[in-house]
Amino acid sequence: MPEANQPPTLVDIPFDKRHLCWFCEEPCNLHLSYWRMPHTPHPSLSVPACSECLKIAKQQLLTSIWDCREAVKDQLMARYQKDLAIGVNWTEQELQESEFDCKIFGGFKKSAWMMYQIAKQRMNAKGWPLSIDGVVLENDPFQFGKASLDFEFDGLQFTHLTQAIKHYSDAMALDNGFLTQLVTLLGKDNFGHAIKLARLNNGVTKTMQQKILAELMEDLDQ
């Protein structure tokens, strides 16, 4: 048993991925500690993370490290939409040949393309299959060549859990953050129950939300 204050075991890191964030493969020197819940399909573990991904991940631990990963990617995508749009609207050559010739726009051309490249690489970064002390995590969906984490609820198919959470919070005007935390606590299999609780408590204050979550947490500990 690890001591209470010690972070969980660090996953194995391939040689060529040393010092890279597991989420976006940017250089990093921090770790995300993922403590398991009763419904978590893998042991508690730590993965290397850059400060930006770490911050996002902590808000959206969800029901497994892989769900968490999808949520981080979603958030990065939303955050860098403007940078990513450069590549949609321009090719590098077009940008070079464009008439932005004065000094200011010349700088824009270069940095805009660079920002696009970085954002794209971070979005596409695959991390690596997780193992601890050489033992592959058997529930790792990406071990089986899956590209996404399908999630189905009420006959609707989603590419991953965060997409489902977004869909239901938009459709029912629920607090997205609260629903995310409820799902994190209750697990995927209780998605319907999480929605029910979010609906019942729709519009309550943040303090009240925290109280509800704390009570649920206590129930889970028993």
Specify whether the CB–CB gap between 76 and 123 falls below 8 A.
yes
178 touching Zn ion, by CB under 5 A: no
22 touching Zn ion, by CB under 5 A: no
| Spatial distance between the Cα atoms of 122 and 118, rounded to a whole number of angstroms | 6
The count of residues in the chain is 222
| Spatial distance between the Cα atoms of 37 and 67, rounded to a whole number of angstroms | 14
21 touching Zn ion, by CB under 5 A: yes
47 touching Zn ion, by CB under 5 A: no
The DSSP element (H or E) to which 52 belongs, if any, is helix 51-59
Minimum CB separation of residue 50 from Zn ion in Å reads: 3
The DSSP string of 156-218 is: EEESSHHHHHHHHHHHTT--HHHHHHHHHHH-GGGHHHHHHHHHHTTT--HHHHHHHHHHHHH
Minimum CB separation of residue 113 from Zn ion in Å reads: 21
- Window of 40-48, 51-59, 141-149, 176-184 that interacts with Zn ion by CB under 5 A: 51-59
Q: Which of 20, 24, 56, 179 binds Zn ion (CB under 5 A)?
A: 24
Nearer Cβ to Zn ion, position 13 or 204?
A: 13
Q: Which of 50, 164, 179, 185 binds Zn ion (CB under 5 A)?
A: 50
User: Quick one: which of 48, 5, 55, 3 has its CA closest to 25?
Assistant: 48
76 touching Zn ion, by CB under 5 A: no
158 touching Zn ion, by CB under 5 A: no
- Window of 17-25, 112-120, 156-164, 210-218 that interacts with Zn ion by CB under 5 A: 17-25
| Spatial distance between the Cα atoms of 181 and 162, rounded to a whole number of angstroms | 11
Nearer Cβ to Zn ion, position 52 or 141?
A: 52
Binding site for Zn ion (CB under 5 A): 21, 23-24, 26, 50, 53
